[in-house]
């Protein structure tokens, strides 16, 4: 069984490759070159990451390749993100990267290159329903996505848009570890070059650069506009409505007294709205409009209660899904209101540990953003 492992130069994908070698798979390491552009004040770390991944491949004695997806990544992930910010929503590039690059482009390229399956260092578990063909080769009839054993690091929120067909041909062995310390211990035990390498931070493709700096670099300076409080009083000026997201508290540039929280914005008027009241009803919602729905196996059952996560690492909240007038839209009714739900982010449904799927938050009731 030939497995191509996406090796990012980090410890998780390094241990993934090592484990699969030890389990008897015919392993090839692949570094995906998605972004190489330097940004002001930060050199893109792709060359260092590539070399780290290659060092581990040499240690493991496996072939190593580079797949260049930079053009497609710009079109499918970066442009998607920039378009969302221009429209006033807060898109999630990590989710789109998994959907369009790691479990589409990478999978397709690996299969065309002779692989039977791919593997990644994600903290998630795939349950395969396997059978055996006439020539004794295992084949997968079905696959479902489940939370990782390490709930602190669980990444299924970012993986809910992966298809079942892609999961059938994917492995995620790191999902079985209960702590990050265990993963590092496995790397140390094998003497892997990345055993003590720190985890990457920041935007998925540009490292430590903050989102505002990246948007400034890509979209340029933005028109300034008014900031209004919950009483309609103008209390300050913002430096571009695209830089603000619902629930944001830091970086508003207005002070004196209680902290302010962003409750919304009007892109046409170039206005940002804030409140000092943490219980302000514009900050809390229990009914979400979902667009661009995606279900991994089967859609949710009518009237059945599931658990929903409205942002990465947020608490799970009981909810019921109802279909909208259009097939690709629906509403999610939460048992309790949740603060600072953000249009453009995702709401992901779970049944126990299994991920059903979900959709993009398009608005709340009559407030529709997309």
Distances (CA, A) of 224 to 32, 85, 231: 38, 16, 21
Q: Helix (H, G, I), strand (E, B), or coil: what is residue 290?
A: strand
Which residue of the set 204, 216, 347, 348 is catalytic?
A: 204
Residue 363 pairs in a beta bridge with 289, 368
Largest Cα span, the chain:
74
**Any catalytic annotation for residue 97?**
yes
CB neighbours of 189 closer than 8 A, spacing ≥ 6?
none
Token pair, residue 25, equals 């798979």
Q: Helix (H, G, I), strand (E, B), or coil: what is residue 326?
A: coil
Closest CA to 13 of 29, 2, 26: 29
Distance CA 161, CA 171 (A): 16
Q: Tokens 């996505």 — which residue?
A: 145
User: Residue 81: enclosing H or E segment and its boundaries?
Assistant: helix 79-86
Which residue of the set 5, 97, 101, 341 is catalytic?
A: 97
Distances (CA, A) of 182 to 86, 172, 188, 341: 42, 15, 10, 33
Q: In this structure, are residues 345 and 361 in contact, taking their beta carbons and an 8 Å threshold?
A: yes
**Any catalytic annotation for residue 44?**
no
Burial of 320 (0-12, 13-18, 19+ CB in 10 A): middle
Closest CA to 202 of 213, 193, 186, 216: 213
Distance CA 191, CA 117 (A): 26
> Any idea which residues carry the catalytic annotation?
97, 204
């Amino acid at each position: 069984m030939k497995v191509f492992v996406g090796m990012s130069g980090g410890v998780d994908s390094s241990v993934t490759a090592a484990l699969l070698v030890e389990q008897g798979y015919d392993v090839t390491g692949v570094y995906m070159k998605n972004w190489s552009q330097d940004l002001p004040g930060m050199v893109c770390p792709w060359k260092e990451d590539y070399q780290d991944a290659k060092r581990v491949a040499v240690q493991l004695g496996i072939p190593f390749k580079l797949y260049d997806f930079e053009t497609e990544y710009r079109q499918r992930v970066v442009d998607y993100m920039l378009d969302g910010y221009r429209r006033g929503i807060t898109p999630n590039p990590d989710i789109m990267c998994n959907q369009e690059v790691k479990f589409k482009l990478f999978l397709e390229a690996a299969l065309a290159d002779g692989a039977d399956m791919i593997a990644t260092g994600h903290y998630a578990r795939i349950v395969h329903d396997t059978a055996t063909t006439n020539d004794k080769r295992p084949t997968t009839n079905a696959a479902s996505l489940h939370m990782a054993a390490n709930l602190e690091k669980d990444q299924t929120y970012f993986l809910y848009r992966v298809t079942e067909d892609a999961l059938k041909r994917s492995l995620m062995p790191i999902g079985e570890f209960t702590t990050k310390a265990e993963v590092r211990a496995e790397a140390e035990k094998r003497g892997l070059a990345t055993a003590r390498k720190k985890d990457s931070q920041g935007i998925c493709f540009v490292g430590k650069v903050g989102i505002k700096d990246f948007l400034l670099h890509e979209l340029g300076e933005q028109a300034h506009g008014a900031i209004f409080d919950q009483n309609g009083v103008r209390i300050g000026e913002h430096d571009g409505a695209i830089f603000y997201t619902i629930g944001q508290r830091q970086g508003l540039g207005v002070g004196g007294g209680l902290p302010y929280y962003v409750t919304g914005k009007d892109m046409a008027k170039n206005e940002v709205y804030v409140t000092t009241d943490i219980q302000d009803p514009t900050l809390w919602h229990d009914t979400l409009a979902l667009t661009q729905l995606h279900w991994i196996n089967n859609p949710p059952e009518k009237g059945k209660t599931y658990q929903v996560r409205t942002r990465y690492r947020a608490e799970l909240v009981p909810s019921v899904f109802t279909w909208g007038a259009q097939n690709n839209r629906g509403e999610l009714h939460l048992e309790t209101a949740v603060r600072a739900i953000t249009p453009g982010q995702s709401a992901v449904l779970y049944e126990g540990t299994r991920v059903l799927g979900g959709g993009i938050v398009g608005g709340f009731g009559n407030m529709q953003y997309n």
